[in-house]
Chain A
Amino acid sequence: MLSLITEKTKKILISSKFRNLIFILFIIFLSVGLFEALILSPQDYIQSDSVRIMYVHVPSAWISLGIFSMIAFLSLGVIIFKNKNFVLISKSLAPSGFIFNLIALVTGSIWGKPTWGTWWAWDPRITSMLVLFLFYFLYLLSWKLFEKNKAVKISSYISIIGVINVPIIKYSVDWWATLHQPSSINVLSESTIHSSMLIPLFLMTAAFALFSVLIFLMKYNVELIKVKNKGLNRI
């Protein structure tokens, strides 16, 4: 039963039709999201138009955190169950997570200049995001430096150790006095952001999530073809 599910999931993951559908949805969400974020959404009464940077900064940060958590979870599966598909999935997720982390850092820095008067501050939230970036870098580097079996182990341990940083990032604004503002969107309590800003934020988040799925699918295909290539003439 489990192998049947895995086989069906694999079929979807390598289907070019599914990839094209994700691409079309991404373009639609991105177009509407950009229009909402840059034109329709209102200015902030304190930050004025600089608040629009939020629409690229926040979704990037959310997705980079989400992807790293997924990689760590899958890596745990790799270590416990020795599942080869988990290896392919986590390896394919890493590049988009890395880029989203970079975008979050750079756009945060751009937002920091007009808001705080500085491009960079060694603030707990920003520093912990930089630490996550280093973990992503080490994860990707391990695949370049070591042969496959060693890389599987080392990259898995890097992500499992690195995931300790995820709750630190999340709660850094509550635990320490920081320049960074606390969360405006809360799952358990009421959000402190108006719907006119919440809608473009969710549209951009959906667009970015679709983009990360698209890159994941392409990368997964790259990795799977590599595996199949090695095995073809061994049959």
Chain B
Amino acid sequence: MNLDLLIMNGYGLYVWSAFAFTLFNFLILYKVTSRQLIKEKAKFARKYETLNSDQIILAHKQSTNRTFVKTVAHKI
């Protein structure tokens, strides 16, 4: 293994920690947002199941609702 890449002329600790902090924050933000999205989709699917046929027809008139129904279809 190339130790020069790790040590970086004595600056390795600074460089690697800066990159690690950045990527760690990316991962956390992605995970948190992704979990929120899954949670809201599940809520949408649960609520959609409780609609009667007239409400479903009306809900389908909105294209956004149609798209979301497609994405949560496996849960309904």
Would you call A80 an interface residue if the criterion is a C-beta within 8 Å of the partner chain's C-beta atoms?
no
Closest to A216 in B: B33
Choice from B29, B36, B47 contacting A99 with Cβ under 8 Å: B29
Residues 198-225 of A, flagged 1 when their CB comes within 8 A of B and 0 if not, give 0000000000000100110011011011
If A11-B63, A14-B67 touch, whether A114 touches B11 (CB-CB below 8 Å) is yes
If A38-B5, A215-B30 touch, whether A229 touches B44 (CB-CB below 8 Å) is yes
A-B contact count (CB 8 A): 114
Would you call B58 an interface residue if the criterion is a C-beta within 8 Å of the partner chain's C-beta atoms?
yes
Chain B residues 23 to 65 lying within 8 A of chain A, measured CB to CB, are 25-26, 29-30, 33-34, 36-37, 40-41, 43-44, 47-48, 50-51, 55, 58-59, 62-65
B34 and A218 within 8 A (CB): yes
Q: How far is the CB of A93 from chain B (nearest CB, A)?
A: 12
Residues of B with C-beta under 8 A to A228:
44, 62, 64-65, 68
Residues of B with C-beta under 8 A to A14:
64, 67-68
B65 and A16 within 8 A (CB): no
A79 to B21, CA, bound (A): 37
* Stretch of A50-58, A147-155, A169-177 on the interface side: A50-58
Would you call A233 an interface residue if the criterion is a C-beta within 8 Å of the partner chain's C-beta atoms?
yes
Interface SS of chain A: helix, strand, loop or mixed?
helix
B40 and A53 within 8 A (CB): no
Q: How far is the CB of A94 from chain B (nearest CB, A)?
A: 12
Choice from B10, B14, B43, B58 contacting A229 with Cβ under 8 Å: B43
If A106-B21, A219-B33, A225-B40 touch, whether A52 touches B15 (CB-CB below 8 Å) is yes
Would you call A226 an interface residue if the criterion is a C-beta within 8 Å of the partner chain's C-beta atoms?
yes
B17 and A215 within 8 A (CB): no
A235 to B9, CA, bound (A): 66
If A14-B64, A229-B44, A233-B55 touch, whether A107 touches B29 (CB-CB below 8 Å) is no
Closest to B30 in A: A215
If A95-B29, A95-B33, A218-B37 touch, whether A43 touches B9 (CB-CB below 8 Å) is yes
Residues of B with C-beta under 8 A to A103:
21-22, 25
Choice from A16, A107, A222, A226 contacting B21 with Cβ under 8 Å: A107
Residues of B with C-beta under 8 A to A224:
64
Q: How far is the CB of A36 from chain B (nearest CB, A)?
A: 13
Q: How far is the CB of A232 from chain B (nearest CB, A)?
A: 5
A48 to B15, CA, bound (A): 11
Chain A residues 8 to 48 lying within 8 A of chain B, measured CB to CB, are 10-11, 14-16, 34, 38-39, 43, 48
Residues 77-118 of A, flagged 1 when their CB comes within 8 A of B and 0 if not, give 000000000000000000110010011001100110110000
Closest 7 CB pairs of A and B: A49-B8, A225-B40, A50-B11, A235-B58, A107-B18, A49-B11, A56-B22
